[in-house]
Amino acid sequence: MSFQRLLVCLCLIVQSTGLALADPGDAIGSAVTVVNQVTGEFRQDVRHLATGDEVLQEEVIAAGMDSIGELMLRDQTKLAIGPGARLTLDRFVYDPNKTSGAIVLNLIKGGFRFVTGVAAKPFYVIRTPVAAITVRGTIFDVYIEEAGAIWLLLHEGSIRACNTRGQCQSLDDPCRVLRIGPGGDLQDPGTWNALPATREVNFATAFPFVVNPPGFDPAPIFTREDIELGRCPEPKVRKAEPSEPPAKRKAQAPRKSKHVYARQRRKRYPKYSQPSSPGFSISIGIGGGGGGRGGGGGHH
């Protein structure tokens, strides 16, 4: 799905729900954590953000090379901004009485963690220099290289990426990585250690919030070692409660057996050949559904 079509959908949502679109300069959230230097720029007016400061629609947020910022928007969408990262808060629509809304963010460069908010059916559009991403009840990291390639690391939920040619790829296995080249070339998702291009990327630079989880997502599901070595834990298998011992009766009753649910097979991912030409535009389908774990537990 092209970005233009996503914007059309966004406009239809606003019209059909009667939600009011925030005006440029309106407060749409706040900075919940600022470490070192994080700035906000709105219409050439640059300010240094401090913890608790409001952030504005159409404001450009930038973190210094030794700095991080954590934002919370009014629908409880949470966004962590890594060292040297930069984004624009393009559009924000939210009605707390209807738990619905629409959000457009423009990620320019660097590493980010995104956690969807509490709105029941928000429409998220996360743009990059070569892509658009939509999200549904999801937690994931995004890294935008200077050269234009994009990396997506899923922690929870699922995402779908589409380049400008209308080619799409889904990522629905947590702890896996999807890379889209600068030319829009899509690969199958896989574990970090199975993707050849990872040799050219510093893990801590790409995913700073795996190395040091943000304050709003402090308890990781996956460790750095899990992700780097491709040793993602199997999904937990739910077991039936043990049956009670049979009552003593004159007539012998058959013993109840314990039931164990079958363990889900882990998908096996192929080894990948070296990625082809770069360049890319990405779209990820998501719409909030309680925000996954919302502001809760985190991931390494």
pLDDT, tens digit, 9 for 90 and up, residues 203-257: 999 999 999 999 999 988 899 999 999 888 765 433 334 444 444 444 544 454 4
Please say whether the beta carbons of 183 and 2 come within 8 A.
no
Identify the pLDDT of residue 36: 98
- Kindly list the structural domains of the chain, giving each domain's residue range(s) and its CATH number in brackets, ordered by start: 3-232+274-279 (2.60.120.1440)
Residues 11-36: tens digit of each pLDDT: 444 444 444 456 788 999 999 999 99
Retrieve residue 151's tokens: 């990396």
Is the C-alpha dihedral spanning 224, 229, 235, 239 positive or negative?
negative
Which residue type occupies 75? D
Please say whether the beta carbons of 137 and 288 come within 8 A.
yes
The tally of CA atoms less than 13 A away on the side-chain side of residue 104 is: 20
Q: What is the mean pLDDT of the chain?
A: 76
Spatial separation of the C-alpha atoms in residues 2 and 97, rounded to whole Å: 31
At residue 230, what are phi and psi to the nearest 5 degrees?
70, 25
| Local confidence band at 137 (pLDDT 50, 70, 90 cut-offs) | confident
Beta pairing class for 135-144 and 278-279: unpaired
Where is 87: in which H helix or E strand?
Answer: strand 86-95
Residues 32-72: tens digit of each pLDDT: 999 999 999 999 999 999 999 999 999 999 999 999 999 99
Identify the pLDDT of residue 150: 93
Residues 182-201: tens digit of each pLDDT: 888 888 999 999 998 998 89
Please say whether the beta carbons of 106 and 81 come within 8 A.
no
Identify the pLDDT of residue 186: 84
Please say whether the beta carbons of 262 and 110 come within 8 A.
no
Q: What does each C-alpha distance from 25 to 86, 133, 288 come to in angstroms?
A: 18, 24, 25
Tell me the DSSP string of 28-48. EEEEEEEES-EEEEETTEEEE
